[in-house]
Amino acid sequence: MTRFITRRASLAALGGGAAGLALPANHARAQAPRELRLGLITPPPHTWNQQLAAWGTRLRDASNGRFTVTLFPSGQLGNEAAMLQQLQTGALDLSLLTVSEISNRVDAFGALLAPFIARNIEEAVRMLRHPIALGLLNGLPQATGCVGFRYGMVGMRQISTREVTNTLADLRGKKVRITPAAPTRDFFNLIGMAPTPLPLPAIFEALSNGQIDGVDLDFESIINNRFQDLCRTMLLTNHFMFPAVGLMSARVFGTLAPADRELIRGTMTEALDALCDSMPEREARQGAQLRASNMQVRPTGPEFFGDAVAQFDRAWGPRAPALAQLRAAFPRG
Ligand code: BEZ
């Protein structure tokens, strides 16, 4: 549920004690202006960057200018693995990291990357607010040295190929760009493709020069990079949802006054909830834009992939117990 910052909490965050009270030395330290650095893999025009820039303004205003947020976009600070390491040491304060990177550290998050776990974007939004998904965040401080506030997301993933794709046989042996993550790699191996992990900023060149035959991406990433001009087919599969987590370095979080922790957690939660709430409308608009492009868009269901989904569940069920729980809580019917 969205948490609203009450006026009292905001005043507490500002250290708004009664006039004339003597304040302890550590209170004065808590009042010092602080710049928070937030690293992102996505470029400035991306929805995540826009939403988090707006959040930075909100946090600055709510803290009366004590907190300012500086965004480092486009993997400027390194790829997601590097940013996670920086969060762990406290060299970086905040990030919105894909669950792909988190699943490389914590198998349990593989449940959120299972094929056909959510039917569509509306169900994905509901799933990421379900106690099963939210419960996974509790393990993050110990496993990654980060506090996980809330899920954000991009749209559902689709498979787009340079050549025309009609059947599963057309995909066999083809190199498909994936986000570096073990569950994603395993699914594409199971369907007979050659998964090629590449970070987001490296895809354009690889697809343009034919180093890869296709991409596993959401609508926004396709449109922002004009991949509809490079691909002849998009299989409209909705095969994965693509969550991300708003994270703060636990080391940094631990240095904040309790009211400041609540202010950051509360405003970040509001911002990421607003991001998720905006996704169904975006997905409809961007889907229409791609259907109007020259790329052939083929609606494709899980049956296209044979028994790959069942094989995935057999491999990942023991590593990610939330997988079976989510399949039971959101049956496909
Ligand atoms: C990707 O790696 O595919 C990706 C990462 C962040 C946002 C969107 C896409």
Could you read off the pLDDT of 236-275 as tens digits, one per residue? 999 999 999 999 999 999 999 999 999 999 999 999 999 9
Q: What is the pLDDT at residue 32?
A: 87
Helix spans in 90-237 (H): 99-105, 121-128, 131-136, 140-144, 168-171, 182-190, 203-208, 219-225
pLDDT band at 333 (very low <50, low <70, confident <90, very high): confident
Query: How many angstroms is it from 241 CA to the middle of ligand 1?
Result: 11
SS3 245: strand
Could you read off the pLDDT of 20-67 as tens digits, one per residue? 233 344 444 556 899 999 999 999 999 999 999 999 999 999 999 999
Query: How many angstroms is it from 204 CA to the middle of ligand 1?
Result: 13
Domains with residue ranges and CATH for the chain: 3-154+243-284 (3.40.190.170), 158-240+286-317 (3.40.190.170)
Could you read off the pLDDT of 275-285 as tens digits, one per residue? 999 999 999 99
97 in contact with ligand 1, CB cutoff 6 A: no
Task: Work out the percent of the chain whose per-residue pLDDT is above 90.
Answer: 89
Query: How many angstroms is it from 64 CA to the middle of ligand 1?
Result: 33
Query: How many angstroms is it from 325 CA to the middle of ligand 1?
Result: 26
Which residue in 227, 249, 200, 178 sits closest to 73, CA to CA? 200
Query: How many angstroms is it from 193 CA to the middle of ligand 1?
Result: 20
The answer to whether the beta carbons of residues 238 and 279 sit under 8 Å apart is no
SS3 331: coil
Write down the pTM of the prediction: 0.90
Pocket residue to mutate for ligand 1, from 48, 212, 221, 224, most atoms within 8 A of Cβ = 221
Asked if residue 117 has pLDDT above 90, the reply is yes
Could you read off the pLDDT of 3-16 as tens digits, one per residue? 222 223 332 332 22
Where residue 78 falls (left for φ over 0; alpha for ψ -120 to 50; beta otherwise) is left
Looking at ligand 1, which residue's alpha carbon is closest to its atom 7? 42
237 in contact with ligand 1, CB cutoff 6 A: no
Query: How many angstroms is it from 112 CA to the middle of ligand 1?
Result: 15
Pocket residue to mutate for ligand 1, from 40, 42, 97, 98, most atoms within 8 A of Cβ = 98
Could you read off the pLDDT of 165-188 as tens digits, one per residue? 999 999 999 999 999 999 999 999
Average pLDDT for the chain: 92
Q: What is the pLDDT at residue 149?
A: 98
Instruction: Give 3-state DSSP helix, strand, coil % of the chain, rounded to 5.
Output: 50, 20, 30
217 in contact with ligand 1, CB cutoff 6 A: yes
Query: How many angstroms is it from 179 CA to the middle of ligand 1?
Result: 7
Query: How many angstroms is it from 153 CA to the middle of ligand 1?
Result: 9
Looking at ligand 1, which residue's alpha carbon is closest to its atom 4? 200
Q: What is the pLDDT at residue 29?
A: 52
Q: What is the pLDDT at residue 13?
A: 31
Q: What is the pLDDT at residue 294?
A: 97
49 in contact with ligand 1, CB cutoff 6 A: no
41 in contact with ligand 1, CB cutoff 6 A: yes
The answer to whether the beta carbons of residues 96 and 152 sit under 8 Å apart is yes
Q: What is the pLDDT at residue 85?
A: 98
Which residue in 224, 246, 199 sits closest to 78, CA to CA? 199
The sign one gets for the Cα dihedral 268, 269, 272, 274 is negative
Round to whole Å and give the CA distance between 7 and 19.
17
The answer to whether the beta carbons of residues 181 and 240 sit under 8 Å apart is no
- Beta strands 94-98 and 194-197: pairing type? unpaired
Query: How many angstroms is it from 280 CA to the middle of ligand 1?
Result: 18
Which residue in 304, 177, 284 sits closest to 230, CA to CA? 177
Could you read off the pLDDT of 189-199 as tens digits, one per residue? 999 999 999 99
pLDDT band at 108 (very low <50, low <70, confident <90, very high): very high
Beta-carbon contacts of 117 under 8 Å, excluding residues fewer than 6 positions away, are: 111, 127, 240, 241, 323, 326, 327, 330
Q: What is the pLDDT at residue 90?
A: 98
154 in contact with ligand 1, CB cutoff 6 A: yes
